[in-house]
Amino acid sequence: MLKNMFENKPTLSFEVFPPKKEGDFEAAYQVLDDLGSLSPDFISVTYGAGGSRAGKTVELASYIQNRLGIDAVAHMTCVGNRREDLLKVARALEENHVNHVLALRGDRPKDMTDEQFASRDFAHASDMMEFLGTHTPLQMAGACYPEKHFESFSMESDLNNLKKKQEAGAQFFISQLFFDNDYYYTFLEKAARKGIHAPICAGIMPITSARQISTTITLSGSSIPKALSDVIASYGDSPEDMRKAGIDYAIRQVRDLQENGVNHLHIYTMNKPSTAREIAAAVAR
């Protein structure tokens, strides 16, 4: 439950994404059932920045909230949405008793022109948060970047913008995935010095195949420490060994985080409950 987070008790949460095809919903519900059996504090559901698939996010979030009885956090983006679209999604969430959103700017999808990207009503997540805070009862979270957001010219300016999200109503943050815990520790210190006191969930993505790593770096911009590139070099050609070694790396990361007093762990599950299960077993709660 999110209550645990605000009481600074250890929490474990998961991210899932909606299926691309309509016919895959049954499989998605099975994934959620499996993840639900691990009793996470919340499950977040991603949102396609084009906006056209918002209904899928609402549908999965509703299942999590109402069928599994677990707090759902629905992602929402400024990109691809006008004010009225956001209100429509907010209303659908409210009708489904989903009270929490991760408010994001989003990136430009491949099939969106620069003009369409620029024509959104809210430039930044913090602008959308102010709007949602005024017009909806939603509780909000925001994204943050231990290695800084790729568009920011400095960590200092990125943290100033993160502070704006807190001021705009973000009650907690979920971090971009990182593979080197030192970035996260330094980030926590800098954020605290800026007066950012909202809980910051540590985003961990287990790398279970060599192929996954290149997509992950492209999407996240996170750096790969030598220890992880050694794992890929050693096991990348053997899918089962790579899977084991990748999960083992993520487990070492979460153990180190917990030993260093980090209470809030968020696993990017890639809709793979078996991976989440192995990591959950290693997390002290």
- Of 89, 93, 104, 250, which one interacts with ligand FAD (CB under 6 A)? 104
Q: How far apart are CA 149 and CA 146, in angstroms?
A: 8
Return the ∠ at Cα 178 (arms to 177 and 182), rounded to 5°.
145
In the complex, least distance from residue 113 CB atom to ligand FAD, rounded to whole angstroms: 17
In the complex, least distance from residue 58 CB atom to ligand FAD, rounded to whole angstroms: 13
Contact between 275 and 34 under an 8 Å Cβ cutoff? The reply is no
Q: Does 265 bind ligand FAD (CB under 6 A)?
A: no
15 annotated active-site? yes
Supply 187's token pair.
């980030």
Site for ligand FAD in 198-237 (CB under 6 A): 203
In the complex, least distance from residue 8 CB atom to ligand FAD, rounded to whole angstroms: 20
Q: Which amino acid is at 33?
A: D
54-62 vs 83-95: helix crossing angle, rounded to 10 = 20
Helices (H), 111-238: 114-118, 125-135, 155-167, 181-193, 210-220, 226-235
Supply 61's token pair.
């979030």
Residue 82 DSSP one-character state: -
Contact between 64 and 33 under an 8 Å Cβ cutoff? The reply is no
Maximal C-alpha separation, the chain: 53
Site string for ligand FAD, 35-74 (x = CB under 6 A): -----------xx-x-------------------------
In the complex, least distance from residue 244 CB atom to ligand FAD, rounded to whole angstroms: 26
In the complex, least distance from residue 31 CB atom to ligand FAD, rounded to whole angstroms: 16
Supply 184's token pair.
């996260």
Q: Which amino acid is at 206?
A: P
Q: Does 161 bind ligand FAD (CB under 6 A)?
A: yes
- Of 4, 11, 62, 176, which one interacts with ligand FAD (CB under 6 A)? 176
Specify the stretch interacting with ligand FAD by CB under 6 A; choose among 63-71, 99-107, 188-196, 222-230.
99-107
Q: Does 155 bind ligand FAD (CB under 6 A)?
A: no
| Total residues interacting with ligand FAD, rule: CB under 6 A | 23
- Residues forming the active site: 15
The residues binding ligand FAD (CB under 6 A) are 46-47, 49, 75, 77, 102, 104-107, 124-126, 143, 149, 151-152, 158, 161, 164, 174, 176, 203
